[in-house]
Structure 1
Amino acid sequence: MPRILMERSGEMEVFARVVQDGGFSAAARNLDITPSAVSKLIARLEMRLGTRLLVRTTRALTLTEEGEAYHHAALRILQELNDADQEAAGGAVRGRLRINTTIPFGTMFVAPAIPEFVARNPGLVVDLSFTDGIVDLVAEKTDVAIRMGNLPDSGLIARKLGQSRRVVCAARGYLTRKGVPETPADLEHHDCLTFNFRRARPSWPFRTDGRDLAQPVKGTIVVNNGETMKQMVLAGAGIARVGLFHVADEIATGQLVPLLEDYNPGDLELVHAIYVGGGPLPHRVRAFIEHMVQRLRDSPLLNGTS
């Protein structure tokens, strides 16, 4: 029994590497062992557990339902083992930190903050991924993500980093051609740029005479990320509703004009750092979140009042 306990972490590491690399041969190369050794370790693991974890064909390697569950648990346990090693070594911030966030927020706030963070933590490798699509933190092996908007219920842990009010805006060229909407109802006669996210609203919220209303909007262009949205509205393709932080500079320079501000409901786009719970927070994740808190604390674009 003691021998098996000592071998479990090694089996987990080999199994996780096979899943990550998509095959026995690739995992063997990265682990510097033979493919037959990998095969024997996986077979021994499946025999000990009494269930099949992987289905192998000539073209692909697929996790069984039991394999999916074991893989998630193995990743968590291996992370805790790494954290224990770091704790024993004095809590040094080291290893690979995988960060995911939206393209606008990543470009404006995260990327500029990384050089200083890396300089302070030379033992760290930062792996950045900017996309407006929602990623599965466990499946994509992401340590921390920064999300815009209200968060759905989940097992993830969140820490608020800031907030930005939203603004309806358009380019002067578009308004010259199409006219300036004076009330939310006027948007029925305008090209409104919208997102194709599943969570995107088919209408925009406004407030009039103390009452909230949802104004249906439509247009000929839908996009999947905020950066494309900004380029479309700057090009005069229509009217957009976005977080003010994303277009504040363009409004300040007059490239974009805020619209229907008297009807702005004052709703906020919240910004959170989120990560997987269930164990001690890795030092590298904690250090990054604290770094971003310090960087964003005094930003007028993220206090919801600008």
Structure 2
Amino acid sequence: MAAFVRIVDTGSFAKAAMELRVTPSALSKLVSRLEDRLGVRLLTRTTRRLALTSEGALYLERARDVLELIGRTEDDVSSTRSSPKGHLRLNSSTGFARQALLHALPAFLQRFPEVSVDLALTDRLVDPVAEQADVVIRGSPAAGSDLVVRKLAEGRRLICAAPSYLQRAGTPLSAMDLAGHSCIALSGQLSPTTWPIATENGVVRFLPKGNFACDNVGMLFDMAIEGHGIVRLADFVVGQAVREGRLVEILADINRSDTISLWALTPKGRFRAPRVQAFLEFMEEWLPKASTLP
């Protein structure tokens, strides 16, 4: 296309060949192959001048548009090396998004004003490629040869409740005490969710019981904030509320929480995009600060 445009603009195979540093015969063969593939004549050639056919005029118009778009695209991509820009598609669980991304994204967008974010929320596992997501954030990694899996942060699960609930129902001090409280459970799992609690006889798997359960972490958080009962959620989700005093961590000395990790899943074709790298690096910097309790 570029060669064809230069031939028309210069009005000469010889002049275009000089600019493109090829021979006039090479350009002539190139145009002939192009015409053969299209099945039409683009140029009429005489010993004195070149003239466009009607098909050639249409091809020239479209070729200019295509070449201009390519140029703009390459300029945009090159410029993002120093200043990330473009549309970032994120997919996150509801609990993490409502309690962590709610605070992180405004700071991210302020730092990178030429990036826009489209956030999808769901607690089900999703395929980043099928969902056309740049980054999927989950508490467990997913396998796939077409994915790049990156650990964003490590944390732990906290047992906590609202001050209003503790004032009304009292503060449990042991696994036995916990059995008499209203616990807000996570439902919809392959097996019942249990809480590992240390006792004199070792660690027991406490099965939380109450009059409310939900498969949505964000809803569990909201119910705990409203004083409905006790929850056990990741510090990525409840850390901000604990710092602000809206939730109180309890049973910290007997809550046996293994280290949990937060993962970013990215399709290989998008992993090196500057907007994606900027977001991942920002979250790696922001999350440890956000989950650190006083």
Using structure 1 for the length normalisation, give the TM-score.
Answer: 0.59
Aligned residues with identical type, % of pairs: 32
Aligned twin of 2:137: 146
1:180 aligns with 2:171: yes
Residues 100 and 146, structure 1, Cα contact 8 Å, conserved in 2 = yes
Aligned twin of 1:189: 180
| Pairwise CA distance, 1:272 | 1.8
Q: Which amino acid aligns with 1:139?
A: A
Distance 1:119 1:234 in 2: 29
Aligned twin of 2:148: 157
Distance 1:175 1:89 in 2: 54
Residues 189 and 88 (structure 1), Cα distance of their counterparts in 2 relative to 1, 3 Å cut? closer
Aligned twin of 1:131: 122
Residues 288 and 170 (structure 1), Cα distance of their counterparts in 2 relative to 1, 3 Å cut? closer
1:259 aligns with 2:250: yes
1:302 to 287, 291, 294: 291
Q: Deviations over 1:53-108 (max 9, x none)?
A: xxxxxxxxxxxxxxxxxxxxxxxxxxxxx9xx659942634443211113343244
Distance 1:104 1:289 in 2: 19
Q: Deviations over 1:260-288 (max 9, x none)?
A: 22211142332222212378633332222
Residues 163 and 302, structure 1, Cα contact 8 Å, conserved in 2 = no
1:231 aligns with 2:231: no
2:78 to 79, 90, 93: 90
2:275 to 272, 284, 301: 284
Residues 207 and 276 (structure 1), Cα distance of their counterparts in 2 relative to 1, 3 Å cut? farther
* Residue segments in structure 1 that go unaligned for 5+ positions in a row: 7-81
Distance 2:167 2:156 in 1: 26
Using structure 2 for the length normalisation, give the TM-score.
Answer: 0.61
| Pairwise CA distance, 1:162 | 1.5
**Secondary structure in 2 aligned to 1:263?**
coil
Count residues in correspondence. Answer: 223
Q: Deviations over 1:277-305 (max 9, x none)?
A: 378633332222123223335x0x435x7
| Pairwise CA distance, 1:144 | 0.4
Residues 206 and 215, structure 1, Cα contact 8 Å, conserved in 2 = yes
Greater mean alpha carbon deviation, residues 131-140 or residues 246-255: 246-255
Q: Deviations over 1:242-270 (max 9, x none)?
A: 12343344434544332222211142332
1:205 aligns with 2:196: yes
**Secondary structure in 1 aligned to 2:237?**
helix
**Secondary structure in 2 aligned to 1:286?**
helix
1:244 aligns with 2:235: yes
1:99 aligns with 2:90: yes
Q: Which amino acid aligns with 1:302?
A: S
Residues 133 and 224, structure 1, Cα contact 8 Å, conserved in 2 = no
Residues 259 and 291 (structure 1), Cα distance of their counterparts in 2 relative to 1, 3 Å cut? closer
Residues 290 and 263 (structure 1), Cα distance of their counterparts in 2 relative to 1, 3 Å cut? same
Residues 123 and 143 (structure 1), Cα distance of their counterparts in 2 relative to 1, 3 Å cut? same
| Pairwise CA distance, 1:153 | 4.2
Distance 2:76 2:237 in 1: 42
Residues 282 and 121 (structure 1), Cα distance of their counterparts in 2 relative to 1, 3 Å cut? same
Q: Which amino acid aligns with 2:189?
A: R
Distance 1:188 1:170 in 2: 15
Aligned twin of 1:273: 264
* Residue segments in structure 2 that go unaligned for 5+ positions in a row: 1-32, 38-69
| Pairwise CA distance, 1:120 | 5.8
Distance 1:214 1:163 in 2: 22
Residues 147 and 207 (structure 1), Cα distance of their counterparts in 2 relative to 1, 3 Å cut? same
Residues 203 and 266 (structure 1), Cα distance of their counterparts in 2 relative to 1, 3 Å cut? closer
